[in-house]
A and B are shown apart, each in its own frame.
Chain A
Amino acid sequence: MRKIAISDGDIQVSTRQLPPEGPEPKPITPAAKDWMLFLGFAATVLTMPIWLQPLGAAYPDLLQKFAIFGIFAIGFNILFGLTGYLSFGHAAFLGVGSYAAVWSFKLFTMNVLPAMLLGVLVAGLFALLIGFISLRRAGIYFSILTLAFAQMSYNLAYSVLTPITNGETGLQLRGNDPRYIDRAFGVESVGLPQTNLFGIDMSGYPGFYFCAAVLIVMFLIAMRIFRSPYGLKLRAIKSNQNRMAYTGFNTRPYLLGAFVISGMYAGIAGALLAVTDPLAGAERMQWTASGEVVLMTILGGAGTLIGPFLGATIIKYFENIFSALNEAELASAFSFLPPPLQEFAVTIVNPFVGEGWHLTLGVIFMVIVIFLPGGLVEGFRRIGRLFRGRSGKRTASQAEVQPAE
């Protein structure tokens, strides 16, 4: 069910049942649809503190995580969703971005912009290096190569690179860090300084709005990539790389481009993690973290625009809710049941919450891959098609035919 959006307003008009009289209604062009989607997305993200209130998720720490991991997943989707190359090492770029950002705080200034710039830059260069080597192979070999590189970086961060990464303790800010630029401007702080954007402290809601703004910009960029000829080429690589090569395209530069872009997204996400909490640890680079971003993308729907953000939000939300639950709270939640049943329900559910959150994660992972490989977006589409009935089916099939023409 891949829809390829070419600006094909004319075709859509011709296939639609036109009303017999009156002026022709102005068709909604795909570009206009995109802008509506974008505005809707921006509005949804910015109003999250309001509409997440009833779900108990409207506090800045969690909202920041939604935005940050949304960026991470959106970036991962540019590689995995468009080209089909499954990287198992993207957490390495996130970690590198974090380290770079914290170093920027330590060495230069507590302003977040240079930190993010440095994070993106370093992550991008790192992605260029790894992508250049890994993309010589496809399929599982590519997955294993990226995994190998990520594990390598993780192991090195824990052992030899301790002077840079501060090993197991994690890289932290200190009162006596040089911060040359801040010192040069005479900015002094008592105790540990706060990250700031020209004087606005990046904690709490300002921090969230900053992350949200970055997320919206990143979403826009991803959308432009999806709709551009470049994005179309990436999709072509996914559907048939050989044929793409026969038509005279050297696919590797395109792939490398996608890899580096998604690495830079991860770098931004990593830098934002450091912005909201200036501490970078190597566990961010572990391959379970890479697995998590894969899960977020798949859960939402790989290859779709809003899927990855949706998946990231859901995962982080449930992680937050589930890992906070304990046996006593479960017992009170099931208190409406008669005592033996209540005990039974608590015993059943207990391994899945608190410490056992990862078990739930694994189960979700399997269920999604088995039953809904297209992710939630695909699920919504199916439900929508169910409701629209026959006419919906027909337009859907036409949409499928169009790209082949």
Chain B
Amino acid sequence: MDAILLQVLNGLDKGGAYALIALGLTLVFGTLGVVNFAHGALFMLGAFCAVALNEALTWEIVTVDPTRTTAWGTPLEVRQPYLEAQFGDFGAFLVDFSVPLAILVAIPFMLLVGVIMERGLVRFFYKRPHAEQILVTFGLAIVLQEIIKSVFGANPIPQGAPDMVAGSADIGAWFGMAGSIIYPWWRIVYFLFSVLIIGIVFAFLNFTTYGMVVRAGMQDRETVGFLGINIQRRFTIVFGIAAVVAGLAGVMYTPILPPDYHLGMDFLVLSFVVVVVGGMGSLSGAVLAGFLLGILQSFASMTEVKAILPGIDQIIIYLVAVIVLLVRPRGLMGRTGIMET
């Protein structure tokens, strides 16, 4: 029982990341009809927002203390994070909370990246075949990840969660089984965060006029255009929102997995599988499939399961995708007629 619960928990944070990326992919596909292979790169860019902020916050000032000398006789260089020098305890607090704070940086940055990407590149590919959309965004993904590689290097850069939530929670105690399930706080935070973001996106689409128009545009773009609404601009914003969602997913994921430049590609392939399983064009399907596959994956990596089916943890997601595509081509919750060939 506790083992099963632990695996479900394990799947939740990964599932949250899958769901967030898949949500963005589906939004872009549903509105603009574009298959965006660079979406994983946006996730990666978000993660590196956190890295960049952390590096900016931990920037050190070097002062030479003439009164003291090192063992070699040269003047002692005193390194001090400038934030601490300037703000004292508050500065230390800022450094500690660099990952959550990166959200504030990531939102405008990712929105900008998303809008530039849509206006500068993607919009020229609406009428082109899907194969060309895949190829050009694939090229863009390579370019983005190589830029990150040349700026931040090829090695993963670990990021710490704030001290407050750095430890582990004894979740078993909540269910009367103290000590049986120890689970890192940050992963719980990540899960809650992903649920929150998903909730915001759904609320935006369902309960605001703006979202309603976007949904109407997804249904019938031409008619919305006839009503005098500049649907293209709204879709551009939606692209930006999708980029923000992917970026935030990346920011918050950094304490779980140290980001490196090919992080995006690793997640992209999986997220596409998630979208396909959930049903191309179905937002709730993407979210459901994200969590489902995350949990399935963590179950498959149990030692008991691996003993029976060796290697299953490596391929379970792909296997599920293959089965779903063959048995129910439109995915779990896909509508009929969307890309169903």
Enumerate chain A interface residues (CB-CB to B < 8 A): 84, 86, 133, 136-141, 143-145, 147-149, 151-152, 155-156, 158-161, 287-288, 291, 294, 298, 351, 355-356, 358-359, 361-366, 369-370, 373
Contact = CB atoms under 8 A, between A and B. Distances in A.
Nearest to B151: A351
Contact of A151 (B35, B269, B341): B269
B130 A140 contact: yes
Contact of A365 (B131, B139, B280): B139
A139 B276 CA distance: 12
A140 B269 contact: no
B273 interface: yes
Contacts, number: 115
Contacts of A373: 128, 132
A396 B280 CA distance: 41
Interface stretch (B3-11, B79-87, B307-315): B307-315
B164 to A, nearest CB: 36
Contact of A137 (B121, B130, B139, B329): B329
A288 B264 CA distance: 13
A148 B269 CA distance: 8
B315 A155 contact: yes
A77 to B, nearest CB: 13
25 contacts: A133-B322, A136-B325, A136-B329, A139-B341, A140-B130, A141-B325, A141-B341, A144-B272, A144-B273, A145-B325, A148-B269, A152-B319, A155-B314, A159-B311, A288-B265, A355-B150, A358-B142, A358-B146, A362-B139, A363-B143, A365-B139, A366-B140, A366-B143, A370-B136, A373-B132
A158 B311 CA distance: 10
Given A84-B131, A149-B322, A160-B314, A362 B136 contact: no
B146 A148 contact: no
Main secondary structure of the interface of B (DSSP, over half): helix
Contact of B142 (A147, A161, A298, A359): A359
Contacts of B169: none
A18 B326 CA distance: 58
Interface of B: 35, 121, 124, 128, 130-132, 134-136, 138-143, 146-147, 149-150, 154, 265, 269, 272-273, 276, 280, 310-311, 314-315, 318-319, 321-322, 325-326, 329, 339, 341
A149 B128 CA distance: 26
A149 B150 CA distance: 31
Contacts of B128: 373
Contact of A369 (B139, B143, B273): B139
Contacts of A298: 135
A140 B310 contact: no
Contact of A143 (B132, B134, B142, B149): B134
A86 B314 CA distance: 24
B211 to A, nearest CB: 26
Q: Which of B124, B138, B272 has the most CB of A within 10 A?
A: B138
A133 B326 contact: yes
Given A136-B326, A139-B341, A140-B280, 20 more contacts: A138-B341, A139-B339, A140-B35, A143-B134, A147-B269, A151-B269, A152-B318, A155-B315, A156-B315, A159-B311, A160-B310, A160-B311, A160-B314, A294-B135, A359-B142, A362-B143, A365-B139, A369-B132, A369-B135, A370-B136
